[in-house]
């Protein structure tokens, strides 16, 4: 797995990556009550706002971690937003994307670097 400074995790499967939020992000958000997912087929650039998460504490955006195309979304978390709190690094993935340049994954943090980031 790779991680971003925005507390997203990425799991690569060839040129596809599954993207979700980390346990740390889920804990910071509190109880998630709404998730807005991106449209499949959408081409995104790194940093684009593509998802909205609302919790009892605040609303947050998920940004595209890298350039690519959204190829699948997890409708289960839109139907049951609490799953994001229950299993953020498993069943509660947000979307899958086909990367424009899979080599860019190498520029993201590994688990040890992410652990250092969150202290």
Give 14-34 pLDDT, tens digit per residue: 889 999 999 999 999 999 999
Alpha-carbon distance 116 to 5, whole Å? Answer: 11
- Say what the pLDDT of residue 106 is: 94
Residue 5 has pLDDT above 90, yes or no: yes
DSSP character string of 80-106: -TTHHHH-TTTTT--EEEEES-GGGGG
* The model scores a pTM over 0.85: yes
Residue boundaries of the structural domains of the chain: 2-101
In the chain the beta strands, taken as DSSP E runs, fall at: 2-3, 8-13, 16-21, 32-36, 43-44, 49-55, 59-63, 68-73, 95-99
| CATH top class, domain 2-101 | mainly beta
Give 50-98 pLDDT, tens digit per residue: 999 999 988 999 999 999 999 999 999 999 999 999 999 999 999 999 9
């Amino acid at each position: 797995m790779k991680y971003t400074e925005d507390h997203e995790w990425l799991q690569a499967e060839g040129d596809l990556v599954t993207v979700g939020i980390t346990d740390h992000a889920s804990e910071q958000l509190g109880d998630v009550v709404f998730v807005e997912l991106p449209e499949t087929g959408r081409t995104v650039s790194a940093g684009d706002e593509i998802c909205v998460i609302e919790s009892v504490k605040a609303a947050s955006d998920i940004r595209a971690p890298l350039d690519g195309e959204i190829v699948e979304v997890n409708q289960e978390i839109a139907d049951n937003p609490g799953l994001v709190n229950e299993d953020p690094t498993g069943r509660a993935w947000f979307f899958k994307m086909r990367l424009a340049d899979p080599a860019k994954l190498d520029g993201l943090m590994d688990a040890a670097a992410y652990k250092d980031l969150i202290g």
